[in-house]
Structure 1
Amino acid sequence: MHEVEVKGILSAKNGMNLYRGCTHGCIYCDSRSKCYQINHKFEDIEVKKNAPELLEKALRSKRKKCMIGTGSMCDPYIHLEEKLGHTRKCLELINKYDFGLAILTKSARILRDLDLLKEINNKSKCVVQMTLTTYDEDLCKVLEPNVSTTKERLEVLKVMQQNGIPTVVWLGPILPFINDTEENLRGLLNYCIEAKVYGIICFGMGLTLRDGNREYYYQKLDEHFPGLKEKYIEKFGNSYVAGCDNYKQLMKILREICEKHNIICDNEKVFSYLNDFPTKNKFKQISLFDL
């Protein structure tokens, strides 16, 4: 790891990344793409040392409460978080100033902060998001080797639901010739039903390949799936999107199951929910007219 001081922490849409880089080792990780300009070894985590101070300053100066998002670029619960507690410090500030939270992770380490997540949700709103990629636990350890397994993430979703915290699942990526099966999709959706998730975000059946992450992904294909890289090169070349042949069939299954079980799977609606800060207190104030 190495530490840096940054000039700002919140984006224009109130998102933040406390770390740059990751140690989860997911073979498909888009954050490795050169366009994000992570100009250091990806596993050499860049820690934004002054992030809590900047966040407090930003929250104090905001005229309106809003949802604060984190985790879309770099996971807030990487291994270093156990030692540094960087994410927890920022959650404490979000709680202190009564803002909402939309947090995305693949790690069961988030359970360490269940007390704060509950407090934030009781006062305003907290939505916990989990990425689910494969129903096969053995395959999960290949695709996402240094992070909580799918079943462990399922348990996190269930704990959140039991504590009244709404959840959203990011379903994907669905990798051509690897996990693009109906069995895998139905297994993941059954987990979502079991955990009573609010919504599912899915950008389609496939993955994106850009300069930086493409090379790493192909290296891992050679390591774990000999011969598959050549198949990708022949079929997709340098295309940005590598889509699954059974795209339409899988998307149809996704929509039908979500509709049947009242799970929102319209991306725009789910994002709107994630960004929507409650305008009124969650607990109705008792007036004299109620007595």
Structure 2
Amino acid sequence: MHEVKAKSILSSKNGMNLYRGCSHGCIYCDSRSKCYQMQHEFEDIEVKINAVELLEDALKRKRKRCMIGTGAMTDPYIPIEIQLQHTRQCLNLIEKYGFGLSILTKSNRILRDLDILKSINEKTKCVVQITLTTFDEELCSLIEPNVSTTKDRVEVLKIMRDNGIPTIVWLCPILPFINDTEENINWILDYCEEAKVKGIICFGMGLTLREGNREYFYRALDKKFPGLKQQYIKSFGNDYEIKSKHSERLMDLFHKRCKKSGIIYDIKEIFTYLNTFEDKYESKQISLFDL
């Protein structure tokens, strides 16, 4: 871990990353890609020590309230968050100033902040996003070694459901020759139906590999799935987009089950929902006026 002073905290699209780098160890992580120009070792977490102050200043200056997003590049609940509590402090600010929240994680540590999430959702909109890749817990420990188990993440979804907080699942990545099976997709969709998720984001049955994360991924394959790297190289070469040979069949299965369950799967529709701010107090006032 090392500390830096950041110049700003919110992107032009109101996303924030309180940390840079990650200790989850997911073998497929795109955030390792060199295009993101990280100037330190990925596991050496960069902590933006002035993030909380920067966020408060940014929220105070905004003319219109909006959704604030976090978790796109670095999970907001990596282990050092338990000690530093930067995520919790920032959630408190989002709640205090009446903004909405869209938060993405693979950790059940998010339950620590259930009180704030509920309060945000009572005023505006809080959407919890969880990544699910495999129902197989042993496989989960191989491809995502330092995150909450799949069952623990599903439990988070159910707890959010029971507290009226909408959820979105990221069904990705689906790794060719590893988790690209009908059994896996069906199990994950069973979990999603049970948890009554609002939507599922799936960009296709495969993954992306670019300079930086490709090399790490191949080293992980050599260690955990001996011989599989050669199969990837033979099948895909240096392609950026790695597509499962079962993609068409699995996507058809995915679409049919989502339609049947009433789960949103149109990516544009989901992102529109995630980015749309709602003022529930104002909506209630309008409803009362209509009466």
Q: Same fold by TM (over 0.5)?
A: yes
Distance 1:201 1:284 in 2: 30
Residue aligning to 2:49: 49
1:63 counterpart SS class: coil
Structure 1 counterpart of 2:237, one-letter code: G
After superposition, the Cα gap between the structure-2 partners of 1:257 and 1:287, relative to the gap in structure 1 and judged at 3 Å, is closer
Residue aligning to 1:70: 70
Structure 2: runs of 5 or more not aligned: none
Distance 1:175 1:287 in 2: 51
Q: Does 1:244 align with 2:230?
A: no
Identity of matched residues, %: 67
Quote the RMSD (CA, aligned, Å). 1.2
Distance 1:219 1:197 in 2: 35
Deviation of 1:282 after TM superposition, in Å, equals: 6.0
TM-score, L = length of structure 1: 0.98
Structure 2 counterpart of 1:237, one-letter code: G
Structure 2 counterpart of 1:276, one-letter code: T
Aligned counterparts, 1:36-115, within 5 A: 36-115=36-115
1:68 counterpart SS class: strand
Residue aligning to 1:270: 270
Residue aligning to 1:221: 221
Structure 2 counterpart of 1:25, one-letter code: G
Residue aligning to 2:3: 3
Residue aligning to 2:204: 204
After superposition, the Cα gap between the structure-2 partners of 1:190 and 1:34, relative to the gap in structure 1 and judged at 3 Å, is same
CA contact (8 A) 2:160 2:167 kept: yes
Q: Deviations over 1:159-217 (max 9, x none)?
A: 00000000000001000000000000000000000100000001100000000000000
Deviation of 1:280 after TM superposition, in Å, equals: 5.4
Distance 1:217 1:83 in 2: 30
Aligned counterparts, 1:184-195, within 5 A: 184-195=184-195
Structure 1 counterpart of 2:87, one-letter code: T
CA contact (8 A) 1:124 1:282 kept: no
Q: Deviations over 1:132-151 (max 9, x none)?
A: 00110100000000010110
Distance 1:85 1:288 in 2: 41
Structure 1: runs of 5 or more not aligned: none
Q: Deviations over 1:40-65 (max 9, x none)?
A: 11110000110110100000000000
Residue aligning to 2:140: 140
CA contact (8 A) 1:122 1:282 kept: no
Distance 2:282 2:12 in 1: 26
Deviation of 1:288 after TM superposition, in Å, equals: 8.0
CA contact (8 A) 1:168 1:200 kept: yes
TM-score, L = length of structure 2: 0.98
